[in-house]
Amino acid sequence: MPDLRVIVQPSLTKIGAALGRADVAGFVAEKVRELAFRIEREAKRQTPVDRGGLRESIVPTILPLGARIAPHVPYAFWIHEGWTRRGGRVVRIQGRGA
C-alpha cells in the first residue's frame, strides 16, 4: 500500500518561542497521534471484510513526531489493488482497487 508521508523539520524551539508555547513538540506529537488514529479509523472503514484479518491488521505506529498506519498481512497489496486469488487463479475484485 502506498505510504502517506508528511515530514516537517522546523526548529520546534523557535516555533514555540514565536507562539508563546513551551512544549511545541508535545503539542505536535499529540496532534500527530490524533491524526494517526483518525486515519486508522478511516482506513478500517474503507477496508473490505471477508473474515476481518486485513482490517484487524491495520495499526498505527506512533513515533516521536510522526506515525505510520499500515496493514500487516501479506495480501494487503493485492486487496488494495483490487485483485485476489480464487481457486488458484488471480481475479479482479469488483468495485475495489485503484
Q: Of 73, 34, 29, nearest to 50 (Cα)?
A: 73
Q: What is the mean pLDDT of residues 78-87?
A: 79
Q: Kindly report the pTM of this predicted structure.
A: 0.64
- Which has more confidence, 35 or 16? 35
Under 8 Å between Cβ of 82 and 97: yes
Instruction: Residue 7: count other Cβ atoms within 10 Å of its Cβ.
Output: 6
- Which has more confidence, 94 or 29? 29
Q: Of 8, 9, 71, 81, nearest to 39 (Cα)?
A: 71
Q: What is the mean pLDDT of residues 79-93?
A: 80
